[in-house]
């Protein structure tokens, strides 16, 4: 299931956000009478950007218990043969649900919706994903390994995590390896083993890692990585 698209759970067909289903985020605009996603004009306690998972069921049906999660519902009719254009001719009553969940919970909610008979499922990463990816003053991305560990524990794959966080899959692959090996998400401190210069040089030439990630991968410091980079004459 790709982000920002509706996926039919039976046929795996995908339709875009401009279909008659709209998106769970646009349902808030519809409910408040706001044409655009202007949070300052909306009389709503739930910001559209916080909705991360949505689904549609034909009625009658049983819906998941959202507990303390904020949610929005939409009642409408559409054809079981709906394929992205119009609503069809043989309309059936349906109900849509959009829920605000954290990035590391998206996969499990998608699974729950599908198990409970949802016909269409939609998802997108939350505006609050900055809690997992931050930036230094120089603009370099810094990953929160602990949060990413939670996403892996929830069942997300490397490419799904990379897609949600909009980062290079190579960086996520490194964090995934740490998680699989049972290593702490925090950086280790203390005495370091000798640095493998060849390994550092190989990571530098690959070009898929930041200096910090290379330092972490080789249990060394950024200063050492820079030193090896200059020594090897690597310009990438």
167-199 pLDDT, tens digit per residue, is: 778 778 888 988 888 888 765 444 456 788 888
- Please count the structural domains in the chain: 2
Same domain, 50 and 117: yes
Answer with the one of 103, 126, 149 that is the final residue of a domain. 126
Same domain, 14 and 120: yes
Tell me, yes or no, whether 1 lies in a domain: no
Same domain, 146 and 98: no
Answer with the one of 110, 126, 142 that is the final residue of a domain. 126
Same domain, 134 and 195: yes
Q: What is the pLDDT of residues 206-217, one digit of tens each?
A: 877 888 788 878
Same domain, 26 and 121: yes
Same domain, 111 and 140: no
Same domain, 58 and 137: no
Same domain, 135 and 122: no
Same domain, 98 and 170: no
pTM, rounded to two decimals: 0.54
Which residue range(s) make up the domain with 201? 129-232
Tell me, yes or no, whether 217 lies in a domain: yes
Tell me, yes or no, whether 139 lies in a domain: yes
Segment 212-231 shows an average pLDDT of 82
From the number of C-beta atoms within 10 Å of its C-beta (0-12, 13-18, 19+), residue 151 rates as buried
Same domain, 142 and 120: no
Same domain, 18 and 83: yes
Q: Which pLDDT band holds residue 28 (cuts at 50, 70, 90)?
A: confident
Same domain, 139 and 189: yes
Closest residue by Cα to residue 160 from 52, 74, 67: 52
């Amino acid at each position: 299931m790709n982000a920002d698209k509706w996926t039919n759970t039976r046929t795996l067909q995908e339709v875009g956000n401009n279909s008659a289903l709209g998106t769970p985020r646009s349902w808030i605009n519809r409910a408040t009478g706001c044409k655009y996603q202007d949070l300052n004009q909306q009389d709503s306690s739930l910001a559209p950007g916080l909705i991360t998972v949505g689904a549609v069921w034909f009625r009658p049906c049983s819906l998941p218990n959202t507990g303390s999660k904020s949610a929005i519902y939409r009642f409408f009719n559409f054809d079981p043969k709906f394929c992205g254009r119009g609503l069809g001719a043989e309309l059936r009553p349906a109900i849509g649900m959009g829920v605000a969940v954290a990035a590391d919970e998206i996969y499990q909610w998608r699974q729950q919706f599908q198990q409970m008979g949802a016909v269409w499922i939609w998802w997108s990463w939350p505006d609050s994903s900055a809690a997992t990816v931050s930036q230094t003053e120089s603009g370099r991305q810094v990953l929160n390994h602990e949060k990413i560990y939670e996403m892996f524990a929830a069942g997300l794959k490397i490419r799904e995590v990379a897609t949600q966080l909009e980062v290079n899959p190579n960086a996520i692959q490194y964090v995934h390896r740490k998680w699989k090996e049972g290593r702490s998400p925090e950086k280790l401190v203390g005495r370091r083993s000798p640095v493998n210069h060849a390994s550092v040089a190989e990571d530098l030439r690959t070009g898929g890692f930041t200096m910090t990630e290379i330092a972490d991968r080789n249990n060394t410091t950024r200063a050492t990585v820079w030193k090896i980079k200059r020594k090897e004459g690597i310009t990438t």
